[in-house]
Structure 1
Amino acid sequence: MSQGRITGAARVAGIAGNPVAHSLSPVIHNAWLEAGGVDGAYVPFAPADAAGFEALVAAGRAGLILGLNVTAPFKEQAFALADEATAAARLTGSANILQFAKGRVLADSSDGVGLMRGLAEQAPDLDVSGRAVVVLGAGGAARAGSGALIEAGAKVRIVNRSRARAETLAADLGRSVRVMEAGQALEGAALIVNALSVPPQLDFDLVAPGTVVMDMTYKPLETAFLKAARDRGLPTVDGLSMLIGQAAPSFEALFRLPPPRLDLRALLTAHLEQTT
């Protein structure tokens, strides 16, 4: 929280999820608020259930908060509760940003932006256009990431324990998406993205050399999934790069201000070292 700058005119936004205590978003946004001398605060909210999240959105409609970042399990509900949605949110049917203004709710999704910026930072030579990309999972993060990859020209292969959920996602996203079993999906893939909240079980013997492996999870920074990939000599992209990539558009949407320049990776790495 930006120390000494909280007044009756403070701008208040936050992040909603359950669980949410692990989130690094408050560290990022409050550092930006403090660096910019902004009278404001970014706080975590942990609604117990869908009804609790709906009540939080009602508080936004009532003008109590400027906006929310949204994380699991509320991204699809966030989209459903909005009055308007950006193209990115409509493509995926989920939202990680809700902006409140004059009693109305605008839904947006910056997860896809974050994923593509993370790839550009840590795998700059990767071009997914016309190539197969494997996405592990079929939840909100998988939806947003798959949408961005489709826009970049990728052919997305969804691998998920619940085939029915994966088929629903594929139907929503269109012809560029197929549901496949892991062994078949890995063949010829240029990129593998873990969008699961639990460590995936993957046979790296089936992964071709040079395949980029990305994990959306950032705590721990080196997940067992990424470590296994690195042990095989595969290039990797960590979840911190995606988080950093989506943070700036979130800050601008929530606080209606551009973020000041900060070395977020250094800030977050130091924070993670202090809390683990």
Structure 2
Amino acid sequence: MTRPAEIPYAEVIGDPIAQSKSPAIHGLWLGKLGIAADYRACHVRPDELADYIAERRADPLWRGCNVTMPHKQSVMPLLDRIDPPAGEIGAVNTVLGGSGGTLSGTNTDASGFLEPLTTDLAKTHYYRMARIVGTGGAARAIITALADKGFTLVVAGRDPGKARALLDELAPKGEHHAIPLSHFADPTDFAFDDREGCLDLVINASSLGMRGQPPLPFDWSHAPPGSIAYDIVTAPLDTPFLQGARAKGHRTIDGLSMLIGQAATAFAHFFGAPPPRDHDAELRALLTQ
């Protein structure tokens, strides 16, 4: 865990970490703004986490770090303060350095997930429903964010008991439902009612469909007409899940949308300036090379 050059820096930590796109995102933004700072990836194993935090706490050049798996929950007791919405989500994905070596933890996953839905959420709806596949760390942020926006949630997981526990913890109000993942795999002849004035989301918040993982078993007869399909997977970017949604006429949102959105909030925290979002097209081209 060596230090970068003698300039302010931030980094992303995880185990593994080589696949992270965060250095490319922050590096482009720093270059466009002409900020003399660095952002890089740092491989931190679980048994190294406490030492890493202690070392960075004492470094006046360190501005903080983004936190990926498997550290989003285990880092929390090592920090001095947990800020909203990390406390509600129960996971930290951004650690910020403060005066006197104090460290705070926050979570930008929720805001990053919601960013491409800003226009939709600004409208008034008779009813909002989200079908969410996954019960991991990303699902925690998504469940919390959508419950706060008035959605009725259906969470599907390999273990429906875990899905139920997440709903009870993160979204105790409302008539939410936990179901087995297999529920969405087979076709249904369910006749959906009129969806005019409704907002329906179908979200893959799992690793299914990621390169090296099996595809997500989702039959699109389970999605109401006019649904928005949202996949947080970034490799590959155009997953079979999204391809199936487009084939049925649904609008799609890919994983880079959430990744760039959450990075934008973290960048402002680390470097004291909003990122230059007018370069998003160039950034997407860089990340998909």
Instruction: State the TM-score, normalized to the length of structure 1.
Output: 0.86
Partners of 2:160 and 2:180 within 8 A in 1: no
Assess if the C-alpha contact under 8 Å between 1:131 and 1:190 holds in 2: yes
Pairing of 1:139-158 with structure 2 (within 5 A) = 139-158=136-155
Identify the residue that residue 252 of structure 1 maps to in structure 2. Answer: 268
Native 8 Å contact 1:59 1:65 kept in 2: no
Report how far residue 224 of structure 1 moved: 1.6
Tell me what 1:52 maps to: 48
How many Å apart are 1:128 and its aligned residue? 6.9
Contact 1:94 1:140 in 2 (8 A): yes
Q: What secondary structure is seen at the aligned counterpart in 2 of 1:192?
A: strand
Instruction: Give the CA deviation at 1:236.
Output: 0.9
Structure 2 distance, partners of 1:256, 1:47, is 26
Instruction: Note if contact 1:79-1:89 (Cα within 8 Å) is conserved in structure 2.
Output: no
Structure-2 separation of matches of 1:205 and 1:260: 40
Classify 1:147/1:272 alpha carbon distance in 2 versus 1 (closer, same or farther; 3 Å).
Answer: same
Question: Structure 1 pair 69/261, CA: closer, same or farther in 2 (3 Å)?
Answer: same
- Distance of 2:148 and 2:122 partners within structure 1: 18
Deviation of 1:29 (Å): 0.6
Unaligned segments of structure 1, at least 5 residues: 1-5
Query: Number of aligned pairs?
Result: 265
Match of 1:220 in 2: 236
Given residue 167 of structure 2, which amino acid in structure 1 is its aligned partner? Answer: A
Kindly indicate whether the alpha-carbon contact (under 8 Å) linking 2:229 and 2:245 is maintained by their aligned counterparts in 1. yes
| CA shift for structure 1 position 127 | 6.3
Paired with 2:287 and 2:84, the residues of 1 have a C-alpha distance of 34
- 1:242 is aligned to 258
Deviations 1:133-169 (A, max 9, x none): 1111111111111111111111222111123432331
For 1:120-199, list aligned pairs within 5 A.
120=118, 130-173=127-170, 174-176=172-174, 177-182=176-181, 183=183, 190-199=200-209
Aligned partners of 1:240 and 1:265 also within 8 Å: no
Q: Kindly indicate whether the alpha-carbon contact (under 8 Å) linking 1:7 and 1:39 is maintained by their aligned counterparts in 2.
A: no
5+ unaligned residues in a row in structure 2: which ranges? 193-198, 210-215
Matching residue of 1:23: 20
Q: Is the 8 A contact 1:119 1:126 kept in 2?
A: no
Aligned twin of 1:115: 113
Percent identity between matched residues is 31
C-alpha deviation, 1:184, in angstroms: 7.7
Of 101, 104, 113, the residue aligned with 2:102 is 104
For residue 171 of structure 1, report the CA deviation from its aligned partner: 2.2
Identify the residue that residue 39 of structure 2 maps to in structure 1.
Answer: 42
Inter-partner Cα distance in structure 2 for 1:263 and 1:129 = 36
Matches of 2:276 and 2:153 in 1, distance apart? Answer: 35
Q: Deviations over 1:164-198 (max 9, x none)?
A: 43233122212244322353899768111111122
Range with bigger deviation, 73-82 or 36-45 = 73-82
Find 1:95's aligned residue among 92, 95, 104.
Answer: 92
* Distance in structure 2 (CA, Å) of the matches to 1:56 and 1:130: 46
Q: TM-score, normalised by structure 2?
A: 0.82
CA 131–258 in structure 1, closer or farther in 2 if over 3 Å, else same: closer
The residue number in structure 1 matching 2:195 is none
Q: Which residue of 1 aligns with 2:57?
A: 61
State the match for 2:196 in structure 1.
Answer: none
After TM superposition, give the deviation of residue 7 of structure 1 in Å.
Answer: 5.6
- Structure 1 stretches (4+) deviating beyond 3 angstroms? 123-130, 181-189
Q: Which moved more, 1:263-272 or 1:32-41?
A: 263-272
Q: For residue 264 of structure 1, report the CA deviation from its aligned partner.
A: 2.1
Counterpart of 2:19 in 1: which secondary structure? coil
**Over aligned residue pairs, what C-alpha RMSD do you find?**
2.6
